[in-house]
Amino acid sequence: MPKFATPTFAASRFTARRMLAATGVAVLALAASACGPDTADGSGGSAATTAAPPAATATSSAPATGGTGGTGGVRLVAVKSATLGPVVTDAAGRTLYRFDKDTAKPSASTCVDACAAKWPPLTAQDAVQVTGVDSALVGSVARPDGTKQVTLNGWPLYRFAGDTAAGQTNGQGVGGTWFASTPEGKKAPGTTGQAASPTAAQSGGYSGGY
């Protein structure tokens, strides 16, 4: 006579299967909670790591040294002097000079120390801008202190401490060796920059060849 499971035994097996299934669902839910994102109060697992954006590259907008004193860098401007004719100034209108004791081929500056204090060299770190000047004539030469002095047709350029305002040409003919530069890099004609020769006060008493 065949044996059949009793109703009680079959019900027990069915109940056991339901319990195992429920346990599996609970385990899966716990695992998902452990791997999920943090909750608002910081509980519930590890926080996700977000890569920080790359830092911006710093750029410098500092003006070239020895220029106009503004933010436009160094510029050579051709102007017409009432007494000397065509000459070159910087962007601020200060007359630029050349020194007979320098050389153009090769370019070399001999005005240093006390001379450079009276005749500040025009230096530039970046490209020189031009207005009315042939850019092909513009260059630079290394000075003993490592700075780059602007040259025009090979001649190093300087300002004059005795010029106290734009348009003045008090340095013309000082010591018989200093002359305002023309737009071609030549010596401006004439021996005086103003209607009369610069006085000792105007020129600062500069002598000794500079």
The model carries a pTM of: 0.62
Check whether 153 has a pLDDT greater than 60: yes
Q: Do the beta carbons of residue 129 and residue 77 sit within 8 Å? A: no
- Mean pLDDT of the 150-172 span: 97
Give the tens place of pLDDT for each residue, 22-62. 555 444 444 444 444 444 444 443 333 333 333 332 222 23
What the block records as the tokens of 5 is 């499971």
Amino acid identity of residue 15, one-letter, is T
pLDDT tens digits for 115-144?
Answer: 999 999 999 999 999 999 999 999 999 999
**Tokens standing for 199?**
């006085």
What is the residue-wise DSSP string for 46-95? PPPP-PPPPPPPP---PPPTTS-SSSS--EEEEEEETTTEEEEE-TT--B
pLDDT at 190 (0 to 100): 79
What is the model's pLDDT at position 73?
Answer: 83
Region 7-16: what's the mean pLDDT? 48
- What is the model's pLDDT at position 209? 55
Give the mean pLDDT of 198-203. 40
Render pLDDT for 163-195 as a digit per residue (tens, 0 to 9).
999 999 999 999 999 999 999 999 999 766 543
Residue 74: per-residue pLDDT: 95
Residue recorded with tokens 């000047």: 133
Chain segment 51-107, per-residue pLDDT in tens: 333 333 222 223 333 443 334 589 999 999 999 999 999 999 999 999 999 999 999
- DSSP, collapsed to helix, strand or coil, labels residue 185 as coil
